[in-house]
Amino acid sequence: MAKPTSIIIPVFNEADYTRLCLESLARTTDVAQVDVIVIDNGSSDHSADVLASFPFVRVIANEENKGFAIAVNQGIRAANPESDVVVLNNDTVLTDGWLTSLRDVAKRENAGAVGPVTNSCGGSQKIECPRITLATIDEFARERRREFAGRCYETDLLIAFCVLFTNRAIRIAGGFDERFELGNFEDNDICRRLRGAGEKLVVAEDVFIFHFGSRSFIGNRIDGLALFEMNRARFEEKWNEKIPAPGEAEVALQKVRQLLAWADDAESKKDFSGAEKYRLGAIELSGGSAELILALAKGYARAAWWRKARDVLEQLTEFDPGNSEVSNLLALARRNLEL
């Protein structure tokens, strides 16, 4: 018997996030009633072992990273041609009732595509989630479901961290435009095509899915800002439409944020030299932000690089002698150097 929904998940390394995603899928979804297709885009970490531990997953293995758009289209071609399709990022954590609710909204609203709300994405689907953690996701989602039960709204754009496309919409669009390669603007493009064909795009306000955000870009050091600009130009050329470019200050801020994200990821993988390099780059771009210099010192302390921590903190005390956090960390660095 054909399964009514195919769930397509492209992955490129970041196996631990993939594990969290698939565990949440198994916990919240009747996996016997869905076809889960994971496209492994040439991962070099332990992704293959993680995927093999989930027997309900069907894996398509690519020898190289073909990009998000191509991977999704591979999944669509491998799926039952009569099924709806969910495109899902591997750095998401799903919550109870997510798929049933998205299906119900699509049917009730006669929508071509439906997406949830989340803590991290561009556009209108991002909501405020103060102090949410992995331990509190389910409770937050339940409260959100009660408060916003049955509520939805029409939109021009659904971000592709999680989108349910009806089979009708898939037949119309045929998949993502592969010119957008690794990612950015492939969701803008397919939404533009669906709206042009008269399809509704709807956000289900009572469905919350947690999204770490950009983990493939961060973990693999893909320059998301450069990719955004490249695909923005492709989108503009295709649709003969100019999209306002961010100003220099905004670009600099985005670059600082990207470097800090790379630094945090490198440190989480015990690559302290890499973390140092990215934090120094962020400091240079920011013009010597004291906050970022302190973050550098904290990174040195976590790596037990006490001499470097001391040298940086001594410089900071000259500019802000009354900062107790700097003074306390400096005292800690000096004590460790005396041992």
Where in the sequence of the chain do the CATH 3.90.550.10 domains occur?
5-234
CA distance 175 to 73: 6
What is the number of alpha carbons within 13 Å of residue 133 lying toward its C-beta? 2
Q: What is the pLDDT of residue 24?
A: 97
Give the highest mean pLDDT range of 143-152, 211-220, 320-329: 143-152
Six token digits for residue 315:
């410089």
- Asked whether 103 and 5 are in contact (CB, 8 A), the reply is yes
Residue 217: predicted pLDDT: 64
Q: Are strands 152-154 and 162-165 parallel, antiparallel or unpaired?
A: unpaired
Enumerate the CATH 1.25.40.10 domain ranges in the chain, comma separated: 248-338
- What homologous superfamily does CATH list for 248-338? Tetratricopeptide repeat domain (1.25.40.10)
* DSSP β-bridge partners for residue 40: 11, 61
pTM over 0.85: no
DSSP-derived letter for residue 41 is E
For the domain covering 5-234, report its CATH number.
Answer: 3.90.550.10
Q: Average pLDDT of 204-222?
A: 81
**Segment 144-168, tens digit of pLDDT:** 999 999 999 999 999 999 999 999 9
What confidence category does residue 318 fall into, taking pLDDT thresholds of 50, 70 and 90?
confident
pLDDT level of residue 37 (50, 70, 90 thresholds): very high
Whole-number Å distance between alpha carbons of 217 and 221: 6
Residue 149's pLDDT is what? 94
Out of 10-24, 185-199, 287-301, least confident range? 287-301
Residue type, 65: N
Whether 129 has a pLDDT exceeding 70, the answer reads yes
pLDDT level of residue 141 (50, 70, 90 thresholds): very high
Tokens of 106: 């699509």
